[in-house]
Amino acid sequence: MEATASVPVFPIDRPASAFKRWQQWLLYSRVFWAWVFLAPTLITLVLVAGRPLLGTFYLSFTDAELLTLDDSVTWVGFKNYAAILSDPDWWVALRNTLVFSFLSVVLETLLGLGIALVLNEEFRGRSFLRAAVLVPWAIPTVISAKMWTWMYNDMYGVINAGFMALGLTSEPVAWLSSPSTAMFALVMVDVWKTTPFMALLILAGLQLIPKDVYEAAKLDSGSPFRIFFKITLPLIQPTIAIAVIFRALDALRVFDLFYVLIGSKVDTGTVTIYARQRLMEFQEFGVGSAASVLIFLFIGSFTLLYLWAVRPQRDEA
């Protein structure tokens, strides 16, 4: 409608009713073509997202197994869900997922905020710094996981060498072997990999703040700390909120990092590792699907939170 609202005067040699008809026709044809153009996207999404999602829901109520997937399956009701909810491994995986997501999102936000503040200053070498910060983001997760596995190596890893040189540890630590240090190690890799994203989002928010706000604050002789807490932080708070939810959604479904760094071990794994293990390694398609549905519902509630957070901007044209 925004295009037709200000359509200039229709050629004056025609009657006004012709103009009305033309305008009406234009409106209808625009809406018609809008749906025609949407059709490929909607059909694709139904095929690649809607249909598989329904499939997962359906399988979660059956006794399907990987090898008998093509034969008929039997409806078992909520049996698979009961099996998962009474499995202690599921709760361990859920706890691991929550701890991992919480720790990494908090660290990423703090670190990202710090880097964004530095990048927001004007100094020589700023574009170099921004380029350097983008490097972890550009590296595929599997590869960064491999790089860090090597750095964490208990015998020859550079991290142990560094920690021992600094006197932080007296002997090499097998970081990835015990659940407690493994969680710490995994959080560190995730923080390294995704802080750039956080920093760039927060930087975008910082750059939306008008310069004169700061000049006014300086005239009032506010100290840098006061300016930060009283002006900057409140103004970028909405950006940070959205970035945090966005990252949390990502962290809650983490898979590659855990799979490459420690493999399918449930005591240090996440819910996605758990579900995939039931599906593909134990070949229990019914139970695995039920776990997937639970993850979907769990993350779905976070998604609603996100949609609610971006709601004000959603409908401006």
Partner 1 sequence: MKWVGKIAFYFLVTLIVFYAVFPFYWAVVTSLKNGADLFKVEWIPTSPTLVNYRSILTTDSFLQSVLNSVLVAGATSLFALLIAILSSYSLSRVRFRGRSLVLLTILSVSMFPQIAVLSGMFELIRWLGLYNTLSGLTFCYMALVLPFTVWVMRGFMKSIPKELEEAAILDGCGPTRIVFQVFFPLMKPALATTGLLAFIAAWNEFLFALTFTLSSDKRTVPVAIAMLSGGSQFELPWGNIMAASVIVTLPLIGLVLIFQKHIVSGLTSGAVKG
Q: Which of residues 206-245 bind partner 1 (CB under 8 A)?
A: 239, 242-243
Contact 181, 175 (CB under 8 A): yes
Going 142 to 146 to 151 to 154, the CA torsion angle's sign is positive
CA distance 140 to 136: 8
Footprint (CB under 8 A) of partner 1, residues 124-143: 125, 128-143
Q: Is 286 exposed, middle or buried (0-12, 13-18, 19+ CB in 10 A)?
A: buried
Q: By CB under 8 A, which span of 80-88, 151-159, 214-222, 227-235 interacts with partner 1?
A: 151-159
Longest dimension (CA), the chain: 93
Backbone angles phi, psi at 75, to 5 degrees: -75, 125
Q: Which of residues 53-92 bind partner 1 (CB under 8 A)?
A: 53-59, 69-70
- For residues 251 and 239, give the distance between their C-alpha atoms in angstroms, rounded to a whole number: 18
Binding mask 17-36 for partner 1 (x = CB under 8 A): ---------x--xxx-xxx-
Least distance to partner 1, CB of residue 220, Å? 21
Least distance (Å) between residue 276 CB and partner 1: 7
Told to check if 155 binds partner 1 by CB under 8 A, we report yes
Q: Using the rule CB under 8 A, is 299 a contact of partner 1? A: yes
Which of 76, 105, 115, 187 is close enough to bind partner 1 by CB under 8 A? 115
Q: Does 301 bind partner 1 (CB under 8 A)?
A: no
Tokens representing 136 are 């972890």
- Determine contact, residues 112/204, Cβ cutoff 8 Å: no
Q: Name the minimum Å distance from CB 244 to partner 1.
A: 11
Task: Please identify, among the stretches 86-94, 122-130, 176-184, 225-233, the one whose residues bind partner 1 according to the rule CB under 8 A.
Answer: 122-130
